Amino acid sequence: MNTDRKKQLEKFIGVLGLPSFHNLLILDQALTHSSYANENKAKHGYYNERLEFLGDAILDLVVGEYLFLQYPHMPEGELSKARASVVSEAPLAAVCAKFGMGEYILLGKGESASGGRMRASILADAFEAVVGALYIDSSYQEAQKFILHQLKDYLALVASGDYGKDYKTLFQEFVQRDGEQHISYRLCREEGPDHDKTFYMQVVVNGLVLGEGSGKSKKGAEQHAAHEALKQLHAL
């Protein structure tokens, strides 16, 4: 690992308020996308998909444990729904965007040029991989502390009862609280091959674009756009 990358990773640790990593290589792996590894096989043979797999399992456990203890009378079906809402792609990507995770991810040239640093799926996967790296490098307790702190706003939605609603519903209720408004979702563009497309959607209110999001489906991109608009309106 060169000096510049080491400094970048140390800066990232500070931005997130993480404890110092004993092994920076595992954090580097968590922030390496497969597109970069494929382009640099000779000098960079690892990427974050295995850590993402581990981090996904840890996220489910930490958030599930929190909800189980915090809401002792909530039935299993509601617990599952609440957990799914907290650990879904849009919240994870929004948290990453807040502290600029995209600028620390190693991406292939094509992926970077096509806006990969702000792509919800890439950011959410990187968040999971960082959780996995933190668990391996430190402990379950440190990973748990990190997850609960970063997702505290979304865990709070469970207490308010809003977790059962999707972001499109929340957005519609927010903008129409003072009367009927015309809300529409507009496809901006599509990127990638047919089997792995990314869709970009805008949410438009009375002709004004209030948010843009991406996703692997049009519905997912609409959800992300609504979520971004709610953040811009300080409704989350």
Query: pLDDT tens, 211-232?
Result: 998 887 888 788 888 888 888 8
Write the pLDDT tens digit of every residue in 157-215: 787 776 666 788 888 888 888 788 899 999 999 988 888 788 899 999 999 999 998 88
- SS3 at position 228: helix
Q: Which domains does the chain have, with CATH numbers?
A: 3-164 (1.10.1520.10), 168-232 (3.30.160.20)
Measured distance CA(99)–CA(65) in Å, rounded: 26
- Single out the residue of 175, 183, 186, 184 nearest to residue 234, CA to CA: 175
pTM: 0.74
> Which is more confidently placed, 196 or 87?
87
Task: Calculate mean pLDDT across residues 78-107.
Answer: 89
Tokens representing 174 are 């927010």
Among the options 28, 111, 128, 166, which is catalytic? Answer: 128
What is the per-residue pLDDT for 18? 81
83 vs 119 pLDDT, higher one: 83
* Tokens coding 226: 């609504």
Mean predicted confidence (pLDDT) in 130-137: 96
The pLDDT score that the predictor gives to residue 162 is 66
What Rg, from alpha-carbon coordinates, does the chain have? Answer: 18
Of 210, 207, 213, 216, which Cα lies nearest the Cα of 233?
Answer: 210
Q: Tell me the per-residue pLDDT of 23-57, one tens digit each, with 9 for 90 and over.
A: 999 999 999 999 999 888 867 889 999 999 999 99
Active site residue 137: no
Q: DSSP letter for 177, please.
A: T
The SS3 of residue 167 is helix
Mean pLDDT calculated for residue range 56-72: 97
| Cβ neighbour number for residue 67 with a 10 Å cutoff | 19
Q: In whole numbers, what is the pLDDT of the chain averaged over residues?
A: 89
Q: What is the pLDDT of residue 5?
A: 93
- Higher local confidence (pLDDT), 95 or 161: 95
Residue 92 and residue 57: Cα distance in Å, rounded?
Answer: 14
Which percentage of the chain shows pLDDT scores above 90? 53
Q: How far apart are CA 154 and CA 118, in angstroms?
A: 20
Rounded distance, CA 189 to CA 199, Å? 6
Could you tell me how far CA 135 lies from the centroid of its own chain?
A: 18
Catalytic residue among 56, 137, 222, 228: 56
Nearest to 119 by CA among 133, 107, 132, 137: 107
pLDDT at 107 over 90: yes
Q: State how far the alpha carbon of 114 is from the alpha carbons of 87, 110, 119, 217, in Å.
A: 26, 6, 9, 17
The pLDDT assigned to 165 comes to: 64
Highest mean pLDDT out of 36-50, 114-128, 129-143 = 129-143
Note if 178 is an active site residue: no
Average of pLDDT values for 115-143?
Answer: 93
Q: Answer whether residue 134 shows pLDDT above 80.
A: yes
